């Protein structure tokens, strides 16, 4: 192999080898935080303006689009894997992704128009087929190439580009909704914002697509044949609650579920960011026959640092939280919130472990885990939903996710020998339990929540207790904070 080949021609060392995972996660976290604030503010506004039925209808449509996107994202996952490996022709990998994108859009858009009557009935939104087409095309050509950025070590860039998209989305959705487009305005706003940020993705990707050779197609497909299935099954698993509630209950029940789910968004910030980088780290190390045990343990140590206080906080004050933020119309979401935050604790741990298995080039094992847990979720979810409504879906998901966590725990421990229950994780659980006790006592005996001010005081108390305990009691937490600060200021 020639040593003078340019980066775009392949053969270079993967940039991920020189990437500081903790620094990139810290960069990305701030972007994710902004996304959450914008998305949360938008959700409050749109939930109140549109009502549970229309608000839930938008998320049903969005879920169908996201499900349709899974085959392309499975290929994108394989493309990212090959993109991160040394000695690959990245132009051909990008060309492969482009080819799959065009094929998927060409297949799915006509089908949507053939089923437009059923589509409208399911979502409760008139004209769902053209809305589906507009949003699908935008997300296909944005999300698939955006996923390649971490393979260049650009984890922070990936997040901040998505943050910019969130800024555009919120502003445009407000405009379209208040002009009078209703739930369709949320689709128009998201689609327009996505189209606007596609060029930025390609600016940082710095790779012009090239017609892929048969060898490149085969290389990507060897991984994609598993990752496509995993993405379809994985997203079906992620959004199964929404799909089943939409079929078996009502769009309004979907609205309650989404309101509760929005509170859990920050739970996956650290886990999602670190998991993306971890897959590429493990992939690069594995391709050179090196161990990445330390990276795995470090990631597991702090993957749940946000999900843990969210769960204990919801356990303490779920009802006043929902009613104060969204109004009494959404009070049914309070019980769902407790269950979904518990689910997010398990999920924040299992997701990085899935990334490790992907990085080890063992997607066939993920297929088995995903298929089993999805099947389990359906089998126990349908009767529970028929009996308990949306709460039944949440209960089924908690059971399935806890089993998924245990299966990945066993796989990663067997393949890597990494420590998956490190001391910092246990310290976070202790801090969360103490936070719950203090916040619950304050709510029951001192602070009745009658306004945003009272709610803010309780949240501030909870945050101060949780992070205060970690600073005082956790040596690892103090060292990590110091390291991230030093890396960020160098």
pLDDT tens, 185-239? 999 999 999 999 999 988 888 778 888 888 888 888 888 888 788 778 777 777 8
Q: What is the DSSP string of 233-244?
A: HHHHHHHHHHHH
Give the three-state DSSP class for 366.
helix
Average pLDDT over residues 140-156: 81
Lowest-pLDDT range of 31-45, 176-190, 336-350, 461-475: 31-45
Give the integer Cα–Cα distance in Å for 111 and 113: 5
Q: What is the DSSP letter of 448?
A: -
Closest Cα to residue 190, out of 230, 138, 233? 138
Binned at pLDDT 50, 70 and 90, residue 313 comes out as very high
pLDDT of residue 29 exceeding 90, the answer is no
Give the N- to C-terminal CA distance of the chain in Å, as an integer.
Answer: 36
Least confident of 52-66, 81-95, 394-408, 446-460: 81-95
The CA distance from 424 to 174, in Å, is: 41
| Alpha carbons 281 and 361: distance in angstroms, whole number | 12
Residue 15, pLDDT > 60, answer no
Whether 43 and 262 have beta carbons less than 8 Å apart is answered as: yes
- Kindly report, residue by residue over 447-459, the tens digit of the pLDDT: 888 889 999 999 9
Which residues make Cβ contacts (< 8 Å) with residue 25, sequence separation at least 6? Answer: 155, 270, 273, 274, 277
CA angle 385, 390, 391 (to 5 degrees): 90
Question: What tens digit of pLDDT does each residue of 199-211 get?
Answer: 998 888 877 888 8
CA distance 13 to 85: 8
Rounded to whole angstroms, how far apart are CA atoms 16 and 88?
A: 14
Structure confidence at residue 54 as a pLDDT band (50, 70, 90): confident
Compute the distance between CA of residue 246 and CA of residue 385 in angstroms, rounded to an integer. Answer: 11
279 pLDDT tier (thresholds 50, 70, 90): confident
For position 10, what pLDDT does the model report?
Answer: 45
pLDDT surpassing 70 at residue 315: yes
| 379 Cβ neighbours under 8 A, 6+ residues apart | none
The size of the chain, in residues, is 490
Classify residue 25 as exposed, middle or buried by CB count within 10 Å of its CB (0-12, 13-18, 19+).
buried
Using pLDDT thresholds of 50, 70 and 90, give the confidence band for residue 7: very low
Where residue 289 falls among pLDDT bands split at 50, 70, 90? low
Task: Reply yes or no on whether the pLDDT at 9 is more than 70.
Answer: no
Rounded CA-CA distance 202/208 in Å is 8
Range of lowest pLDDT (4-18, 149-163, 253-267): 4-18
DSSP, res 85 = S
* Number of neighbours of residue 1 by Cβ within 10 angstroms: 7
């Amino acid at each position: 192999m020639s040593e003078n080949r340019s980066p775009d021609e392949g053969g270079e060392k993967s940039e991920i080898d020189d990437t500081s995972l903790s620094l990139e996660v810290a960069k990305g976290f701030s972007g994710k935080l902004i996304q959450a604030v914008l998305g949360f503010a938008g959700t409050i506004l749109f939930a109140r303006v549109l009502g549970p039925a229309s608000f839930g209808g938008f998320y049903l449509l969005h879920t169908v689009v996201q499900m349709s996107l899974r085959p392309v994202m499975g290929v994108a996952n394989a493309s990212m894997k090959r993109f991160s490996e040394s000695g690959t022709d990245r132009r051909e990998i990008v060309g492969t992704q482009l080819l799959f994108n065009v094929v998927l859009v060409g297949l799915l858009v006509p089908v949507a128009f053939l089923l437009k009557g059923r589509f409208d009935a399911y979502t409760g939104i008139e004209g769902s087929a053209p809305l589906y087409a507009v949003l699908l095309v935008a997300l296909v050509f944005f999300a698939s190439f955006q996923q390649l950025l971490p393979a260049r070590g650009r984890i922070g860039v990936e997040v901040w580009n998505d943050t910019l998209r969130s800024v555009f989305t919120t502003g445009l959705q407000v405009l379209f909704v208040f002009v009078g487009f209703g739930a369709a305005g949320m689709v128009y706003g998201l689609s327009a914002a996505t189209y606007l940020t596609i060029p930025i993705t390609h600016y940082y990707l710095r790779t012009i697509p090239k017609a892929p050779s048969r060898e490149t197609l085969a290389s990507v497909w060897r991984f994609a044949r598993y990752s496509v299935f995993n993405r379809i099954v994985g997203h079906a698993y992620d959004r199964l609650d929404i799909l089943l509630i939409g079929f078996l209950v009502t769009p309004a029940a979907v609205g309650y579920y989404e309101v509760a789910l929005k509170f859990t968004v920050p739970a996956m910030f650290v886990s999602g960011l670190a998991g993306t980088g971890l897959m590429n780290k493990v992939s690069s190390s594995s391709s050179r026959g090196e161990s990445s045990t330390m990276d795995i343990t470090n990631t597991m140590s702090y993957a749940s640092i946000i999900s843990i206080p969210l769960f204990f906080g919801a356990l303490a004050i779920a009802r006043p939280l929902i009613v104060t933020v969204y109004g009494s119309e959404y009070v049914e979401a309070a019980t769902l919130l407790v269950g979904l935050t518990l689910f997010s604790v398990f999920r924040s741990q299992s997701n990085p472990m899935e990334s490790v298995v992907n990085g080890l080039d063992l997607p066939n094992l993920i297929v088995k885990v995903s298929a089993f847990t999805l099947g389990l979720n359906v089998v126990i979810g349908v009767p529970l939903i028929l009996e308990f409504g949306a709460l039944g879906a949440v209960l089924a998901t908690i059971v399935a996710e806890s089993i998924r966590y245990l299966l990945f725990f066993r796989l990663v421990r067997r393949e890597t020998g990494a420590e998956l229950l490190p001391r910092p994780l246990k310290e976070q659980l202790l801090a969360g339990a103490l936070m719950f006790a203090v916040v619950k006592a304050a709510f029951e005996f001192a602070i009745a929540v009658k306004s945003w001010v009272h709610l803010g005081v309780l949240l501030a108390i909870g945050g101060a207790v949780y992070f205060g305990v970690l600073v005082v009691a956790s040596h690892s937490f103090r060292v990590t904070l110091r390291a991230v600060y030093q890396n960020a200021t160098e």
